[in-house]
A and B are shown apart, each in its own frame.
Chain A
Amino acid sequence: EPEVTQTPSHQVTQMGQEVILRCVPISNHLYFYWYRQILGQKVEFLVSFYNNEISEKSEIFDDQFSVERPDGSNFTLKIRSTKLEDSAMYFCATNRESSTEAFFGQGTRLTVV
């Protein structure tokens, strides 16, 4: 069964550093998303990406964050100047069409120290 692959599974970084989280979507999927889940809290939407551009973003997704699809396969989330409160599980999700089920990756646990 095809799946969404995320790397790394766990990243520890110092406050103020930049991190890049990577996702390999399911091959025929066109819609890509990043969500995050702070420990013990809800899964929260960050950004959606379609046709090589951001289609929607939440209030959380400020200038500290950026997304791109650099090589047609990987989908990345860059977090600049990380803060302690950025510590969370970050999930990539993809689906074929905007109204169908989204498949989630296993997540990257980001710990900012």
Chain B
Amino acid sequence: EDQVTQSPEALRLQEGESSSLNCSYTVSGLRGLFWYRQDPGKGPEFLFTLYSAGEEKEKERLKATLTKKESFLHITAPKPEDSATYLCAVQARNTDKLIFGTGTRLQVFP
């Protein structure tokens, strides 16, 4: 069964304190792995798509990497406005649906 597990569930960081969020997945043929940001009461906001092991993508303070079993979202020198829940989702080759993890709730304190 296709599955996504994210860790940690919650993460508290001081402003400027870099860290990484983990997304472990099992999928019957990966079409894509997606990272989204979700603010309270809002819809997921697209961040990155990764398609193959070894691929990396960056956007401002965020960098996503992918291996055959997991993906990391690295946050460098975070700011309070980076506080949100970060969702990981996978799409298998034979389907259009996204399978989401439960997310990592990130809080960045000044």
A→B interface (CB under 8 Å): 4, 6, 31, 33, 35, 41-45, 48, 50, 55-56, 58, 89, 91, 93, 98-107, 109
Mark the stretch among B10-18, B19-27, B63-71, B95-103 that contacts chain A. B95-103
Per-residue contact bits, chain B 67-110, to A (CB 8 Å; 1 contact, 0 not): 00000000000000000000101010001111111110000000
Closest to A98 in B: B96
> Could you say which residues of chain B place their CB within 8 Å of the CB of A103?
46
Given contacts A42-B102, A99-B31, A101-B49, contact A106 B42 (CB under 8 A): yes
Contacts of A31 in B (CB 8 A): 96
Interface pairs (6), CB distance under 8 Å:
A6-B43, A45-B99, A58-B97, A99-B31, A102-B46, A102-B98
Residues of chain B within 8 A of A44, CB atoms compared: 100
Which single residue of chain A is at the shortest CB-CB distance from B32? A99
Among A4, A56, A89, which residue has its beta carbon within 8 angstroms of that of B97? A56
> Nearest-CB distance from A24 to chain B (Å)?
14
Partner of A48, one of B36, B42, B96: B96
Q: Judging by beta carbons under 8 Å apart, are B97 and A45 in contact? A: yes
Residues of chain B within 8 A (CB-CB) of A109 are 41
Chain B positions near chain A (C-beta within 8 angstroms): 31-32, 34, 36, 41-46, 49, 87, 89, 91, 95-103
Instruction: Write out the residue numbers on chain A whose beta carbons fall within 8 Å of the beta carbon of B103.
Output: 42
A31-B96, A48-B96, A56-B97 known; A43+B44 contact, CB < 8 A: yes
Q: How long is the Cα–Cα vector from A43 to B74 in the complex, in angstroms? A: 22
Given the complex, which residues of B lie within 8 Å of A55, measured CB to CB?
A: 96
Q: Let me know if A107 and B42 touch, CB within 8 A.
A: yes
Contact B42 A56 (CB under 8 A): no
Q: Which of A33, A43, A101 has the most CB of B within 10 A?
A: A43
On whether the beta carbons of B46 and A101 are closer than 8 Å, the reply is yes
10 A-B pairs with the lowest CB-CB distances in the bound complex, closest first: A104-B43, A45-B97, A43-B100, A98-B96, A101-B46, A48-B96, A104-B44, A106-B43, A107-B43, A42-B100
